[in-house]
Amino acid sequence: MKPAAAAVLALAAATPAWAQPMSNAQLLEALKQRDAAIAALEKRIEALERAARPTAASTAVPTPQAPPAAIAAAPPAAGRADEDPAEAEALSRALVQRGGLLLPPWRGEVAPSVAYSYSEVQGLTLVDTPEGISTVADQRLRSDAIRASATLRLGLPWSSQVELRVPYNALRQSRSLGDGRYVAQNGSGVGDLELSLSHVLAREHGWRPDLIGGISWQAPTGRSPLRVSVPAVATGGGAHVVRGRLTAVKSVDPMVFFGTLSYTHSFSTREPFGRFQAGPSASLELGAVLAVSPETSLNLGLAQDFRGKAELDGISLNGTDGVASVVQFGVDRVLAPNLLLDVTLGVGLTREAPDYTFQVSTPWRF
Closest C-alpha among 305, 303, 300 to residue 243 = 305
83 pLDDT tier (thresholds 50, 70, 90): very low
The lowest-confidence range among 9-13, 143-147, 258-262 is 9-13
- Give the whole-angstrom CA distance, residue 40 versus residue 191: 98
Q: What is the greatest pairwise CA distance in the chain?
A: 153
- 296 vs 227: which has the higher pLDDT: 296
Residue 24: predicted pLDDT: 67
- 186 vs 65: which has the higher pLDDT: 186
Q: Mean of the pLDDT values across residues 60-75?
A: 43
Secondary structure of residue 134 in the 3-state scheme? strand
Between the CA atoms of 311, 315, 317 and 320, what dihedral angle is there, to the nearest 10 degrees? Answer: 30
Q: What is the share, in percent, of the chain residues with pLDDT greater than 70? A: 79
pTM: 0.72
**Which is it for the CA torsion 165, 88, 207, 325, positive or negative?**
positive
- Give the whole-angstrom CA distance, residue 208 versus residue 99: 18
Q: Is the pLDDT of residue 42 over 60?
A: yes
Highest mean pLDDT among 1-10, 116-125, 258-267: 258-267
Q: Transcribe 199-255 into DSSP letters.
A: EEEE--BTTBPEEEEEEEEE---S--GGGSS-GGG-SS-SS-EEEEEEEEEEEETTE
- Give the whole-angstrom CA distance, residue 68 versus residue 296: 15
Q: How far is CA 199 from CA 1, 80, 129, 193, in A?
A: 74, 10, 59, 21
Q: 341 - beta bridge partners? A: 333
Alpha helices in 19-152 (DSSP H): 24-52, 56-59, 68-73, 90-97
- 337 vs 341: which has the higher pLDDT: 341
For the chain, the structural domain boundaries read: 3-58, 79-365
The lowest-confidence range among 114-128, 140-154, 243-257, 323-337 is 114-128
Q: Is the pLDDT of residue 235 over 60?
A: yes
Q: Mean of the pLDDT values across residues 100-128?
A: 88
Highest mean pLDDT among 44-48, 118-122, 305-309: 305-309
Q: Is the pLDDT of residue 239 over 90?
A: yes
- 9 vs 293: which has the higher pLDDT: 293
Q: Please give the CATH architecture assigned to the domain spanning 79-365.
A: Beta Barrel (2.40)
Highest mean pLDDT among 13-17, 51-55, 222-226, 360-364: 360-364
Q: What is the share, in percent, of the chain residues with pLDDT greater than 90? A: 55
Residues in the chain: 366
Q: Is the pLDDT of residue 27 over 70?
A: yes
Based on C-alpha coordinates, what's the Rg of the chain?
39
Q: Is the pLDDT of residue 58 over 50?
A: no
- Give the whole-angstrom CA distance, residue 136 versus residue 38: 120
Reported as a single tens digit per residue, the pLDDT across 200-226 is 999 988 888 999 999 999 999 999 998
Torsional class of 263: left (φ above 0), alpha (ψ -120 to 50), beta (otherwise): beta
Q: Mean of the pLDDT values across residues 83-111?
A: 82
Cβ atoms of 300 and 329 within 8 Å: the answer is yes
